[in-house]
Structure 1
């Protein structure tokens, strides 16, 4: 696409807008309007538009060029015939040279010169066609806000940070607040899937779990998952899926995640069915038993500490030399850690957008029922463990890269296993390495790619034990888990989870 130029006016001065195959540039304009929220007050102020610095592009002069705004950050462009003005809504990076820079919402408004109204209309249409291409502009968005989850900041995060960005992209918003546990599940289960393009959770991981299970309880479960994409606004304590998609900084940035809703594509996700004797549901994050489950569930009274409570819980269990007895059977696809690492790195190099699984109707399991014995090709492990932690995401908390070889949609569950009796020193060494994923190289850490597993907790006399599914309490009884490849999806700017830099 060749460059496209429109000359407009602001405060009686000529401004040049240049749009090409990579970016939008606004030249000869020293100001821009950006909305700023201060506590509960909404105000608009005139601030300087960032200019292109010499160290960003040595061939450009700050006096002649404004900062280029990439296509991804252009939210909307339109010409208003009533006001005879062009409006461009964009996100501008605070530190353009930093790929993890935060952004601000800028709204540029200019007067169209006489006899150039038709050109202005075509100019804006060209921008919209180019920056959205095969994406859906002006999405119909159902927003579900959990006002009580995490640290009870979801409402303010949405109102102050996210809503202005979605409105700037002209999204059509239907905002609902969840009123009780499983409310989001009920909404998703009864949703008219033809009325929305995406369903957005403003919460921690709990509301995501509810929406996925609401869809999967429908008779048209697969169609619902394919037709209504999931979008995330992190407003919880851990935000595990969000940080696994965008990293520990941007994964907590509401504006970045709003952009993923607007400009993201469906990133296919593996989901897991979890089956007990009397119930069956789905998991998108993790299934754990042992000290990791205690760190999730036994520290509920420390939620005021944020995700640091997990660290405290793990330390308590390590120093107490806690172990948990179990019987586990695994359908192992790979147990060699070096092969797992090489396959992970190869997958990243060849990463492409993978489409969510197609199909219709309900989602059925392929493994034997829980009441039947496991097949002979399964591997059974008996005895005490300190950690049994299966995951579909690499990061379960900030600083906890527990499963560094997870792929979003490789069709496997990553299982980390540490057997009992390894000693405090070795477990502390493992714990201090988990932020970089180097614990994977330690002999005491077993790491498997599995298609399914069956776990039977054995509760020792006088002791309690925890099972956590997606960070929530689950019954400490026998259950089994099977992965369903690419069954779900979430709107993302990238075709993979973060690069964990496994060596």
Structure 2
């Protein structure tokens, strides 16, 4: 029976529209004229209450599946469009045991169909196998219709029964033709896995979701992947840094996989990102592999930010909604922030996608770990404690403002104290440019020792006299070359510096020049938190103006001297995104920047990168616009 609650009206004026006979004839003529790639079929649904068969015309085209319902007793016609973007996938074959509502039966003689179904029900009641009289082939169309107000996805199944022929093979051929046409239309939307013989790599943390990661995957993720007919390899992580090592060392990563999906919290995504950036072919990996996330963990800031970017629902089923985004088949560029740390003469480089924290929020996040057993309430309790025993930190904040013509309410100007200007010479902070593929040579793959994760960009990699210089064997060179040994080594190291990610900022131990727009603020800070996604967690709308690929870092600065009532209002308003002042404020402001440096005074404090604690000391960061691709539904 046709379920009206599952319809969305496609008529321009109302949900049901009365059509004149002339208009009906014109409509029938249009339907008979099919464009290339279109299929059309007539089906019937039995209405037992009215004892009649409802005629439904189904048309498959590039836009999706049109269903046009006609009744015998009225002239009303209802239409529904299931958009191709809302269709996850389809399958065809014999009848499945569990038959959901919404099936459409194609038949020549409805009365004969009723007699066969009665015979089938009688045989089943006698606990005997049904007779082999059903030669029908079934097409199952799985869709999740997007609804507004409230924003949600409605699971919808449409079953088309093909029985125009007495031969099952012919009916199956018709069903397969519809099935293949749906796949073709889906691929034209930009499917990530459209390339032949490429799969998805899914990394699952079994301890995520309070230790229910496997169960969540089997119950909520795997069924959707089956509906989408997505080929994937599931890799279970066994220890910390497992994903980083796996992604970094897997040699056939680009040849075998079209994308990587993280089924966990933000921490596992951080490992995957840094594993990619430590590969020698990191440019190709970032360009060819789309990254997705399914929020099976506790920290779900990225998943919420992607849903916000795509205008997709998140609650109350975040795992289902995130999986739908991952199987949608599109990708969007996303910024990555290069982070440099210097602690006790140990230099390290990492890559961040979420945030960098110093002060209040970092303290609450890390120190409340001792209350993890009580769940999310630990943040509230520890925030109250931090307000009572409020801390402030001495230090210097350097930042390179983004050129903006005017400040908006979402990004107000900051009434900062007197600042000194410094600059960065030869630092083009425009769109991040990659080397062409033909310039990515493996000529220097025989390096003796190159730990790309801890090298210092400002150390003299380009100098033969440097103690940190890596030496290479250079094929085709002879001792009689006109170039000196030092020149050849310098040229080799210059090319190696192009093969690994390098930043534009001077090293942490070097001063920042003062000619090209850098600003410095020295004083007392309650918090400096840098964000480059809209959400730090599913319930923390921290940077409303942020976009996935805007090339900006949003520095939220809270200076010393702020009152506790103002600070309390700031914390309470982060869930709605109203915590940032709309007018210039002497204590709280947000600064859109492209790079920054923090030099804390003393050795006591907490620094976090993507929610994980790092060594306390000088830290600097700069944005690489659109460096990676993340899975989205829009591709924008």
TM class by shorter chain equals: 0.7 to 0.9
For 1:165, the equivalent position in structure 2 comes to: 224
Distance in 1 between residues matched to 2:136 and 2:349, nearest whole Å: 58
2:151 to 100, 109, 116: 100
Q: Aligned to 2:540, what secondary structure does the other structure show?
A: coil
1:265 to 312, 330, 352: 330
Q: State whether structure 2 residue 592 is matched by structure 1 residue 449.
A: yes
For 1:23, the equivalent position in structure 2 comes to: 64
Q: Aligned to 1:250, what secondary structure does the other structure show?
A: coil
Cα drift, residue 228 of structure 1: 1.4
CA contact 2:201–2:234 (8 Å) conserved in 1: yes
State the Cα deviation string for residues 223-253 of structure 1 (Å, max 9, x = none): 1111111111111223001111214951662
CA contact 2:411–2:545 (8 Å) conserved in 1: no
- Higher Cα radius of gyration: 2
Task: Report 1:240-319 matches (<5 A).
Answer: 240-247=301-308, 250=314, 253-277=318-342, 278-319=347-388
**Count of equivalent residues:** 449
Distance in 2 between residues matched to 1:181 and 1:254, nearest whole Å: 23
**Mean Cα deviation higher: 475-484 or 102-111:** 102-111
State the Cα deviation string for residues 146-178 of structure 1 (Å, max 9, x = none): 111342232222110111111111111211110
Task: Report 1:477-496 matches (<5 A).
Answer: 477-495=617-635
Distance in 2 between residues matched to 1:320 and 1:434, nearest whole Å: 21
Q: Aligned to 1:276, what secondary structure does the other structure show?
A: strand
1:233 to 273, 276, 294: 294
For 2:85, the equivalent position in structure 1 comes to: 72
- Quick one: structure 1 residues 196 and 317, their matched pair in 2 at CA, closer, same or farther if it must change by over 3 Å? same
CA contact 1:307–1:397 (8 Å) conserved in 2: no
CA contact 1:268–1:356 (8 Å) conserved in 2: no
Distance in 1 between residues matched to 2:76 and 2:353, nearest whole Å: 47
Cα drift, residue 120 of structure 1: 3.9
CA contact 2:411–2:590 (8 Å) conserved in 1: no
**Structure-1-length-normalised TM-score:** 0.80
For 1:417, the equivalent position in structure 2 comes to: 557
For 1:128, the equivalent position in structure 2 comes to: 183
Q: Aligned to 2:631, what secondary structure does the other structure show?
A: strand
CA contact 1:6–1:120 (8 Å) conserved in 2: no
State the Cα deviation string for residues 466-496 of structure 1 (Å, max 9, x = none): 1010000111111211111111121001356
For 1:347, the equivalent position in structure 2 comes to: none
CA contact 2:139–2:175 (8 Å) conserved in 1: no
For 1:470, the equivalent position in structure 2 comes to: 610
Distance in 1 between residues matched to 2:544 and 2:144, nearest whole Å: 32
CA contact 1:199–1:230 (8 Å) conserved in 2: yes
**Mean Cα deviation higher: 204-213 or 294-303:** 294-303
CA contact 1:272–1:282 (8 Å) conserved in 2: yes
CA contact 1:147–1:177 (8 Å) conserved in 2: yes
CA contact 1:132–1:263 (8 Å) conserved in 2: no
RMSD over equivalenced CA pairs, Å: 3.2
- Quick one: structure 1 residues 397 and 336, their matched pair in 2 at CA, closer, same or farther if it must change by over 3 Å? farther
1:362 to 478, 488, 500: 500
Which ranges of structure 2 fall in alignment gaps of 5 or more residues? 1-33, 47-52, 96-134, 413-430, 441-498
For 1:87, the equivalent position in structure 2 comes to: 139
Cα drift, residue 356 of structure 1: 9.2
**Mean Cα deviation higher: 256-265 or 385-394:** 256-265
For 1:321, the equivalent position in structure 2 comes to: 390
Distance in 2 between residues matched to 1:121 and 1:27, nearest whole Å: 22
Q: Which has the higher strand share?
A: 1
Distance in 2 between residues matched to 1:163 and 1:26, nearest whole Å: 29
Cα drift, residue 68 of structure 1: 3.7
Which ranges of structure 1 fall in alignment gaps of 5 or more residues? 30-58, 344-354, 497-503
CA contact 1:274–1:280 (8 Å) conserved in 2: yes
Cα drift, residue 318 of structure 1: 2.1
Task: Report 1:419-438 matches (<5 A).
Answer: 419-438=559-578
State the Cα deviation string for residues 402-425 of structure 1 (Å, max 9, x = none): 212112112121110010111111
Q: Aligned to 1:213, what secondary structure does the other structure show?
A: helix
Cα drift, residue 72 of structure 1: 1.4
Task: Report 1:398-409 matches (<5 A).
Answer: 398-409=538-549
Distance in 1 between residues matched to 2:635 and 2:388, nearest whole Å: 40
Q: Aligned to 1:477, what secondary structure does the other structure show?
A: coil
Distance in 2 between residues matched to 1:81 and 1:409, nearest whole Å: 46
CA contact 1:395–1:402 (8 Å) conserved in 2: yes
- Quick one: structure 1 residues 98 and 68, their matched pair in 2 at CA, closer, same or farther if it must change by over 3 Å? farther
Distance in 2 between residues matched to 1:425 and 1:336, nearest whole Å: 33
Distance in 2 between residues matched to 1:25 and 1:313, nearest whole Å: 54
